[in-house]
Amino acid sequence: MPIKWSSILDRVLSGEGAYKALYDHHPDLIIVLDRQGYYVESNRAFEAVAGAKAKAEAELHEPLSCSRPQPPGEEHFAAALGGIGSRVELPVEEGSGSSPAAITYVPIQAEEGIAGVFAIIHYGQSCGLPLEVEKWLGSLITREEPPPEWTDDRAPGHEEMLAAIGAAAEQQQAELVPGMSEDKHLGLILNSVAAGIFGLDTQGRIFFINREGADMLGYAPAELIGRTFAGQVHHIHGDGSRYQKIESPIAQTLQDGRTRSKGDEIFWRKDGTSFFVSCRIAPLMHKGMICGVVGSFSDITNEREILRAKETAEQAAQAKADFLAMMSHEIRTPMNGMIGMADLLLETELEEEQRTYAEILRSSSHSLLKILNDILDFSKMEAGKMPLLSEKFDLREMMESVIDLFTPKAEEKKLALRWWADTSVPSMVTTDPSRLRQIIVNLVGNALKFTERGSVTLSVKNIQLPASPEYLLEFSVRDTGVGIADSKLNLLFQSFSQLHPFINRKYGGTGLGLAICKQLVELMGGTIFVESEEGRGSTFRFMLPFIKEEMEADITP
């Protein structure tokens, strides 16, 4: 006797099974909250995507079992408790790498009133959840059992909020309840989410599509019911060739019952235009038999364009960095030749005016070489082509050579230039001596540049780490110069940044020195920071790790 799939499908749709499948396989995170905001259950997307992130975030936060969870946009949660579905847009934290996100709060209607709330989290899956949402999810899953329900029908702290909603809540609730079946809360979810959801029978005909899905395709939902999905939406590749049946994830899932996810499918709109989608196809099962499929999809056209633009920009930046890194030798060689010739010229018999010109030539050549070195070093670090050496050398000797380098400049400006090393600092250390010297030269040079009276002090001390095989050396450069305003401190280590146009005109420089210092310190496994008071001076400190055995071998008792 042949199987009557249409009868089976009608039976499945009359219960909650079909909607439960849509709920479970929807790509947005869906969480059921009770009236107090405590976690009750969630769909598979939450378990798969948000669970691990929330648990990781929760490890950083102590569970607050004595207080109620604070859902983002709490007034919108309160509105849902009053019977009004509400959506809150969450801001993107600058530099976090997360995407714009929103939460839709949907009331769960029961005969007795609002029993709870669906929280539907929409976000760009290629980026990540905003930090605010991750912290909230972390608090949900680590929180102990919620306290007994309050005898009042409302959650504490929401009395005034719900009173403000008042008659509007009752009116919208009355509009939502009439005519709904026992699956009304699932219907609210399907038409509230920011992704398309559809259901197909075994012949690939559409028996359900939510409003968002129909809108993305340019149809009214009723126009698609009864039509084949392949014929209307998913039939042609981006290059114009038709899909073969074996290529269709829908046909494959109808055949073997396996759930499939595709991140680069093309769907076609009613007007003949196409767009890229990320879709998920899952089987609709009844008593072990496949009686259809449930699908969800999101328009990823903008995400692909952003990703393509990002890749293009990264390729261009990499090409620039590669070029400059490769040109390092070719650019430095003629500059060194000019400086060498200027030095030789100054060793000859010259008239006073000729000597002045030669000294200007040498000084200008050194300044230009310094700028070129900064740009080339920065480009090499951007390209990941800055190698580090590991050599054993005399630290005190290196620091003294830096002081000797700047002593003429300090004497010219009548500044006291000092240095000292703590007695616990070993004489011999192992790291890249040229890069360590470059950092110290940059910091001492900056200190002298911005100090008109007083002193500049270079120092180093030992910081012991008892439970570690390493120890830290903290280097500091303290000056009594112009100092830096608190509002400008965040600009210090940024590339090509100057604190004020006046500074650039008066003191010169590329704005790369501190950015290079920061990258070199981090490349060597350390950290760098600054303390400053405007008008009173600054202290730049950086810490680098060294192997403890070397220290014990070098320090004599």
Burial of 95 (0-12, 13-18, 19+ CB in 10 A): exposed
Q: Give yes or no for a contact between 451 and 431, defined as CB atoms under 8 angstroms apart.
A: no
Q: Is 80 exceeded by the pLDDT of residue 201? A: yes
What is d(CA 40, CA 58) in angstroms, rounded to the nearest whole number?
A: 18
Instruction: Give CA–CA dist 22/218, Å, rounded.
Output: 22
Which residues touch 341 (CB under 8 Å, ≥6 apart)?
Answer: none
Contact (CB, 8 A) for 76 and 102? no
* 3-state SS, residue 274: strand
Residue 462 has pLDDT above 50, yes or no: yes
Left (φ > 0), alpha (ψ -120 to 50) or beta: where does 73 sit? left
Residue 143 is given by DSSP the state S
User: 454 burial class (0-12, 13-18, 19+ CB within 10 angstroms)?
Assistant: middle
In this prediction, residue 430 carries a pLDDT of 93
CB 293 within 8 A of CB 283: yes
For residues 508-516, average pLDDT: 74
* Predicted pLDDT of residue 129: 76
**Calculated CA dihedral for residues 149, 154, 160, 162, nearest 10 degrees:** 140
Place of tokens 């050396």: 473
- Domain 315-382 architecture: Orthogonal Bundle (1.10)
CATH 3.30.450.20 intervals, the chain: 28-190, 196-299
Output b/e per residue, 132-147; b: 16+ Cβ within 10 A: bbbbbbbbbbbbeeee
Give the per-residue pLDDT at 353: 92
Assign domain 391-554 one CATH number from 3.30.565.10, 3.40.640.10, 3.40.718.10, 3.40.50.720: 3.30.565.10
Q: What is the pLDDT of residue 149?
A: 43
In sequence order, what are the beta bridge partners of 420? 459
Dihedral, CA of residue 178, residue 182, residue 187 and residue 192, to nearest 10? 70
Give the contacts of 503 (CB within 8 A, at least 6 positions apart): none
Q: What is the pLDDT of residues 83-137, one digit of tens each?
A: 888 888 887 666 555 567 889 998 888 777 788 889 998 877 666 677 788 788 8
Query: What interhelical angle do 74-81 and 159-176 show, nearest 10?
Result: 50
Take residue 356 and report the two structure tokens written for it.
């002045």
DSSP type of residue 151: S
Percent of the chain with pLDDT over 90: 24
Chain center to CA of 143: 26
If you average pLDDT over residues 40-68, what whole number do you get?
Answer: 58
What is the average pLDDT across 279-295? 87
> Rounded to an integer, what distance in angstroms lies between the CA atom of residue 115 and that of residue 153?
10
Run of H or E residues at 475: strand 470-479
In whole angstroms, what is the distance from residue 325 CA to residue 331 CA?
Answer: 10
- Find out if CATH 3.90.1150.10 is the number for domain 196-299: no
CB 158 within 8 A of CB 140: no
- Rounded to whole angstroms, the Cα distance separating 52 from 347 reads 71
Q: Say which residues have a Cβ less than 8 Å from residue 279's Cβ, sequence separation at least 6.
A: 249, 261, 262, 265, 267, 295, 296, 297, 298
430 close to 390: Cβ distance less than 8 angstroms? yes
Give the helix/strand (H/E) hosting 514.
Answer: helix 513-523
Average pLDDT of the chain is 78
Please indicate whether residue 443 or residue 510 has the higher confidence score (pLDDT). Answer: 443
| Residue 75: CB atoms within 10 Å | 14
Q: What is the per-residue pLDDT across 528-537, written as a single tens digit (0 to 9) for each?
A: 999 998 889 9
Please tell me the predicted confidence (pLDDT) of residue 33: 87
Q: Are strands 391-394 and 527-533 parallel, antiparallel or unpaired?
A: unpaired
pLDDT at 218 over 70: yes
Virtual torsion, Cα 472, 478, 484, 489, nearest 10 deg: -10
Please tell me the predicted confidence (pLDDT) of residue 35: 82
**Spatial distance between the Cα atoms of 10 and 540, rounded to a whole number of angstroms:** 74
Select the more confidently predicted residue: 267 or 376: 267
Higher pLDDT pick, 243 / 441? 441
- Which are the contacts of 146, defined by CB distance < 8 A and separation ≥ 6? 34, 36, 38
Instruction: Answer for the pair 150, 71: CB distance below 8 angstroms, yes or no.
Output: no
Dist CA 462 CA 447 (whole Å) = 23
Between residues 355 and 99, the one the model is more confident about: 355
Check residue 502 and give its pLDDT. 47
In angstroms, the CA 103 to CA 31 distance is 10
Q: How would you classify residue 548: left for phi > 0, otherwise alpha for psi between -120 and 50, otherwise beta?
A: alpha
- Can you tell me the distance from the alpha carbon of 305 to that of 328, in angstroms, rounded to the nearest whole number? 34
**Position 322 pLDDT exceeds 80:** no
| H-state helical runs in 60-218 | 74-81, 131-142, 159-176, 184-190, 211-217
Helix/strand/coil for 289: strand
> Which part of the chain is CATH 3.30.565.10?
391-554
pLDDT at position 473 is: 96
Contact 391, 430 (CB under 8 A): yes
Which of 211, 212, 215 is CA-nearest to residue 195?
212
> What pLDDT is attached to residue 498?
57
179 pLDDT above the threshold of 50: no
Q: Which one, of 92, 112, 111, lies nearest residue 102 by Cα?
A: 92
CATH topology of domain 28-190: Beta-Lactamase (3.30.450)
